[in-house]
Structure 1
Amino acid sequence: MAKTSVDKQLSVYLYIPNIIGYIRVIMNIVAFALSVSNKPLFALLYFISFVCDGLDGWFARKFNQVSTFGAVLDMVTDRVSTACLLAVLSQLYRPGFIFLALLALDIASHWLQMYSTFLSGKASHKDVKDSSNWLLRAYYGNRLVMAFCCVACEVLYIILFLLSENQSGSVITVSLAALSQGSLISLPLSLALFGCVIKQAVNIIQMKTAADACVFYDMKRKEKP
């Protein structure tokens, strides 16, 4: 018996990677609800949710359950969870503007990239094979590079969250103090800083190239008779 449209729709919602996505959303809600009262548990739940971000993609390819809904759910969950953590950090450190600027860059870069992808007719915002920028191609073309940078950013934010003690601390002072304490914290913090810097550079480049793509689309449209 052929599946109805409702059955097909339901089957997509119940794809394994999409179920993992729902679990990520729930974990993030619980994590941020506990962020003030239980910082270690928040960090654990947040990091597990981030790890699941890699698992859902693996399951999607493994069981041929790749879906547009799943891709959107994955990106929205990533952006919202990172945005919430950056917003929290902006209230824990001074100057808080640093984290708000990172939040704005993250959203603007990915939104422009998604929209330019839509205009160009590409299937994924990660398709940058035709980009002239080597760093952008290296980032999206190599899963290990992208994974390192993404993990580095989240680990850096989690470390800063765990190190925060009051609402008047300087992020620079706290970071320098942590880097001078020894390899137990300085090594992962150094690696996280390095990966985060690369990712922010990619975000800036991505935002510029995506903006150029939108302008180029307008130019081509105006040239048509």
Structure 2
Amino acid sequence: MAAAPAPNPAYGALTDQGKSTNIVWHHSTVTRESRAHQRGHRSAILWFTGLSGSGKSTLANAVNSALFEQGLACYVLDGDNIRHGLCTDLGFSDADRVENIRRIGEVAKLFLDAGVVVLTAFVSPFQADRERVRALVPAGDFIEIHCAADLSVCEERDTKGLYAKARAGVIKEFTGISSPYEAPESPELRVDTGHAELEGCVAQVLSFLDANGIIPAAS
């Protein structure tokens, strides 16, 4: 029997994780590099973070559409959608927010290994949680994109009526009102989603991906 492949240090320790013991990481015969060669582009985690109403989902989906039109493998993980299934057991306490982002980070890492450009649209309010996800993957694979929109702009939009409910005390622990949002200090990309047109924001993200060799230049 062939010897087991050595663990990849970029993905951390692979045995005795959490409460699970006597486990090893099984390496696929089709590698991430092989998928990148076949598809003609790298995989990456595009982590869109910002206040509710800052335009995270709108921008992530617009970028996803642009990538899809170029024939690239891409997928959006949206905050609300994830809470309908994978994280349906979690609320919005600080502890639950931490666990929510931990799970998303692990899922995003699997998409990365599958050769997909995965776009995540989550408030992810705590810097430490975002850095914890960054540490899961090799350097350069986690791209933090701050959807920068002032609280006043987000409240004006209030597409879900959440800020009004938070101000009225109906929603507890709401980010930006009764729970803090820690804006990225040094994101790979900061996009002015509060004032800039969507088309320009999309172009800014695509330009970054092109310049960093993640996607091929658009023809």
Do both share a fold (TM > 0.5)?
A: no
Structure with greater strand percent: 2
Higher RCO (C-alpha 8 Å, min separation 6) = 2
TM-score relative to the length of structure 2? 0.24
Structure with greater helix percent: 1
State the structure with more CA Rg.
1
TM-score relative to the length of structure 1? 0.24
